[in-house]
Amino acid sequence: MSIGTATIEYEFICPLPNGLHARPANCLEQVVVGFVSDISVVNLNNNKKANVKSVLSLIGADIKKGDKCLVVVQGNDAKPAYDALVDFIEHKLPDCDAALPEMVYETNKVILPPVLEDAGIDVIPGNPVVSGIGRGKAVFFEKLKLPESLNIAGFVDVNDELSEVERAISELSSDITDNLSSGRATVVEREILNTHLSIANDVELLNKVRYLINNEGISAGEAMLSAVEHFSKILKMAESGLIRERVLDLRDVCYQVLKNIYHGKIDDSVKLDSHSICIAGNLTPCQFMSLDKEKLKGMVLTHAGNTSHTVILARSFGIPTLTGVDGVCLNIENGKEVIVDADLGIIVTEINEKVERYYALENRKQKAIAQKCTIFKKKPATTKDGSSIKVMANVATADEVEIAIANGAQGIGLFRTEMLFMDRQEAPSEDEQFEEYRKAAANANGSRVVIRTFDIGGDKSVGYLNLPKEGNPFLGYRAVRLYNEYEKLFKDQLRAILRASAYGNLELMIPMISCIEEVLWVKEKVKQVKEALDSESISYNTDIKLGIMIEVPAAAFIIPHLSKEVDFFSIGTNDLAQYFFAADRCNEKVKSLYNSNHPALLSLIKKIVDDADVNGIRVGMCGEMAGKVENLPILLGLGLKEISLASPSIAGIKAECAGLDRASCKELVIKILNCASSDQVEVVIAEQCRMNSHAVVEVGLIDLQVDCIDRAEVIKYISDILYINGRTNSPLEMEKEFWKRESVYSTGLGYGFAIPHCKNGLVNCHSICVFRLDKPIKWDSSDKKPVGMIIAMAIKDGETAGDSHMQIFSRLAKKIMCREFRNKLRILLSEHEVVRFLYDQLALKDIQ
């Protein structure tokens, strides 16, 4: 430390495990912001200098743990500023950085399947929230271009431009502050808002904008864009992913400032001109809806949560999506072709030949699954024992209804209307809503459409309603609880729905009911609206059905009473689980408690279904739990006759249904309800899955024209075929199981044959696959000959040497040693012939 008259210096070593990223930089800035002295810090490791009063400048210095830094304080209040700063650095700085959020993945933790591993590429990991694979050019959702129509090039007055930019920034700051103090933001949102606030108030950003306006004679908007470009370049060079990620925040802030400068003249939409992968910090539901879904092939959202409404929408459009992605993705060039693989949880930025081959295999697998499901798309979902379950779709717009019906939906079980109220300056008018609901009814072609009245509040805020600040928004003023105060809004919506009911099969549903009084109040309002329509001679469906969501546990215990008042129930497991387990559905930290496989929740759902049945009232489920194929046996066993889910999953659910029978699902549920924990439930389910027995050999397991060029591809292909044929639910894990043997000793038998095999709990039923390769490949066989024939065996755990199936495998092992058997297999012409030959040779008839 050295103290002069006007300059004081202080050296410290950065103690922060994640370096000086936005959050600690913000704390540091807060300590010095009130002093007039100039305060800078030099990172002695890279000689980057920063203004401590600017978060952007501080994070641009790329200070990492262990970097030696020199603080220089110069000015009239240098001493008190120095004291405050040193006190903060020594006592508080080490504690002002919490651990990284769990959702951020470490690059080296991704285990790639061997075919991709062989491709020798770097990938960027992310948190998969909507599964699937998409490929297209990277498009940053930055929207930072000023429309030419603004004609801003030759502006007139420097002072006007300066005051415009200052006004726009201060408007944004106060909007963010209001948002923060409303108490509606979730923990993650608060963090983002705080970062945005400190960027909006950043002195260096404003200095740069002022400098550009004063010295380069450019407009406020151009100066803002140019300043953001300047800081983005600095941040992009940082080593820390956390710092690079701030570029998206910077762009977000800039965009909002531009909107404030040019009021409504900045176009919100991004035009996609070819297959694209959209990369953004987050998107509002309206921004997402504005994207052309034909061209949108994938999304990378660095900040979005799993249950955010944009993610729910992405799910319903089947757009593969990753969240929690490291800021490194910002180094992807705009326009570069990338793959979002939300099955593996990676972004692939380097597409070489091996990568092409891997995704060609994946494509083949997806197509085969889709083809299998297509057969079921248009059929009702029926179990093997003839019981059926109605499969409906969840939507948020009328346009989605058409897609849902095309995807096989037997109606719309949940139309979330609150999306129509969000991201705008005022509520939609009755006529605007009427048009939307009428269109939904028309798009459904006579099928039922359940319109849920607005569920605003909780995590869905609507600025223009000026809802009060709350400590616990999810437990507070939300959905039906708002309707009394906003009666006009509610009645306008009821009028719109009732008017639209004259044009199709619409039903009304009320969210968040917790007591009978709420239902009676709603019924009274419906009656009043009907009377008003009658007096105006406006037609509507006088018998329109009224239902309620069962998503508050209290409602679940008064089903017999509620049954007397309403026509149907829909179980909203997203909220039911959060209120039942006292675990916030948006909070990553309590994610493990929020578990739909918990026997307590399942027993609550059983009670709801049973009580509704006894009272003769229709009951369905529309929470996310209904959309997972693995939950279907439980839902059938619980007695549900109707479910509603994101429409891309519908065909898969129907296909799954065809392989189940309700009677054994009911037995499964009896076992499950006796479990003590969700872990135990999972064991029971896994056991049940494996009891479904199939023949050891079938046509789907034989392929006589296989285009694989190495062992890794063949093993992937075997695992995919087992998956396509329902013999395993985890193709990736199966690959690893085959490799466990293969990496210890080669299964190349000689004579051009290989017999890869594995035995484990992932195999649903014993299977033999036979493949003939187009070109023989190296397999490290004992006779060094290339392999052209593959006989793969997958054996399920729990079999012993005396078991009938083990006898098949030992017969097969003996046969393979026989030249005649091998030669015959090599020349058989069709898959059917191979199946018949194996039946005969292995005496399968005796066993199956």
User: Which residues contribute to the site for ligand PEP (CB under 6 A)?
Assistant: 414, 416, 455, 551, 572-575, 622-623
Quote the least distance from Cβ 549 to Mg ion, whole Å. 6
Q: Shortest gap between Cβ of 381 and ligand PEP (angstroms)?
A: 20
| Environment class of 294 (CB within 10 Å of its CB; exposed 0-12, middle 13-18, buried 19+) | exposed
Phi, psi of 412 (to 5 degrees): -115, 115
At CA 356, angle to CA 350 and CA 361, rounded to 5? 135
Which residue lies nearer to ligand PEP by CB, 627 or 748?
627
**Bridge partners of residue 74, in order along the sequence:** 7, 38
Nearest approach in angstroms of CB 623 to ligand PEP is 3
Reply yes or no on whether 91 is catalytic. Answer: no
Of the residues 303, 309, 598, 766, only one is catalytic, namely: 309
Contact partner at residue 623 from Mg ion, ligand PEP, none, CB < 5 to 8 Å by partner kind? ligand PEP
Q: How many alpha carbons lie under 13 Å from residue 316 in its C-beta half-sphere?
A: 34
Residue, CB closest to ligand PEP: 572
| Shortest Å distance, C-beta 630 to ligand PEP | 18
User: Which residues, other chains included, contact 384 with Cβ-Cβ below 8 Å and sequence gap of 6+?
Assistant: 658, 659, 660, 661
Q: What angle, rounded to 10 degrees, do the helices at 711-724 and 731-742 form?
A: 140
DSSP 25: H
What, of ligand PEP, Mg ion, none, does residue 602 touch, CB below 5 to 8 Å by kind?
Answer: none
Check 196, 303, 598, 757 and give the catalytic one.
Answer: 757
How far from 425 is each of 264, 422, 468, 536, 829, CA to CA, in Å?
11, 9, 17, 30, 68
Q: What is the tally of helices (H) and strands (E) in the chain?
A: 30, 28
**Binding residue count for Mg ion, defined by CB under 5 A:** 3
Residue nearest to Mg ion (CB): 575
Closer Cβ to Mg ion, 293 or 591, answer by number: 591
Q: Smallest gap, in angstroms, from Cβ of residue 312 to Mg ion?
A: 11
Which residue is catalytic, options 27, 278, 622, 708? 622
Whether 309 is catalytic is yes
459 binds, among Mg ion, ligand PEP, none (CB under 5 to 8 A by kind): none
Task: Give the one entry of ligand PEP, Mg ion, none that residue 42 binds, where binding means its C-beta sits below a cut-off of 5 to 8 angstroms depending on kind.
Answer: none
Residue carrying structure tokens 């790329």: 62
CB closer to Mg ion, 245 vs 507: 507
**Cα distance from N-terminal residue to C-terminal residue, the chain:** 85
Q: Which is nearer to ligand PEP, 507 or 575 (CB)?
A: 575
Nearest in space to 382 (alpha carbons), one of 645, 726, 659: 659
**What residue 622 binds from ligand PEP, Mg ion, none (CB within 5 to 8 A, per partner kind)?**
ligand PEP
Which H or E run includes 620? strand 618-621
CB of 416 to ligand PEP, least distance (A): 5
492 is in the binding site of which of Mg ion, ligand PEP, none (Cβ under 5 to 8 A by kind)?
none
Amino acid occupying residue 763: V
Residue 838 burial (CB count, 10 A) = 25
Q: Taking each helix axis from N to C terminus, what angle separates 430-443 and 487-500, rounded to the nearest 10 degrees?
A: 40
Helices (H), 592-677: 599-614, 632-637, 650-658, 662-673
Name residue, tokens 């004291």.
83
- Which lies closer to Mg ion via its Cβ, residue 591 or residue 694? 591
Q: Exposed/middle/buried for 1, CB within 10 Å: 0-12, 13-18, 19+?
A: exposed
- Cα separation of 191 and 416, whole Å? 27
Q: Is 757 a catalytic residue?
A: yes
Read off the amino acid at residue 801.
A
Minimum distance from residue 574 beta carbon to ligand PEP (Å): 3
In the bound state with ligand PEP, the residue whose beta carbon lies nearer, of 217 and 476, is 476
Alpha-carbon distance values, 414 to 507, 565, 804 (Å): 10, 20, 49
Decide whether 479 or 842 has the Cβ nearer to ligand PEP: 479
Interatomic CA distance for residues 315 and 281, integer angstroms? 18
How far is residue 249's CA from residue 232's CA, in Å, rounded to a whole number? 10
Residues 531-570, interacting with Mg ion (CB under 5 A): 551
CB of 480 to ligand PEP, least distance (A): 12
For ligand PEP, the closer CB: 306 or 725: 306
Give the footprint of Mg ion on residues 572-591 (CB under 5 A): 572, 575
Is the CB of 316 or the CB of 541 nearer to Mg ion? Answer: 316
Instruction: Give CA–CA dist 682/747, Å, rounded.
Output: 33
**Ramachandran angles phi, psi of 72, nearest 5°:** -125, 120
Q: Which does 416 bind (CB under 5 to 8 A by kind): ligand PEP, Mg ion, none?
A: ligand PEP
Q: Active-site residue among 21, 303, 598, 766?
A: 21
Identify residue 268 by its one-letter amino acid code. D
CB nearer Mg ion, residue 329 or residue 622: 622
106-108-114-115 Cα dihedral, nearest 10 degrees: 70
694 is catalytic: no
- In the complex, minimum distance from the CB of residue 573 to ligand PEP, in angstroms, rounded to a whole number: 5
Element at 280 (helix H, strand E): strand 276-280
To the nearest whole angstrom, how small is the minimum distance from the Cβ of residue 452 to Mg ion?
A: 9
Whether 201 and 56 have beta carbons less than 8 Å apart is answered as no
Pairing of strands 7-13, 133-140: unpaired
Residue 627 interface partner, choices Mg ion, ligand PEP, none, CB cut-off 5-8 Å depending on type: none
Chain residues that interact with Mg ion, rule: CB under 5 A: 551, 572, 575
User: Which residues are part of the catalytic machinery?
Assistant: 21, 309, 622, 757
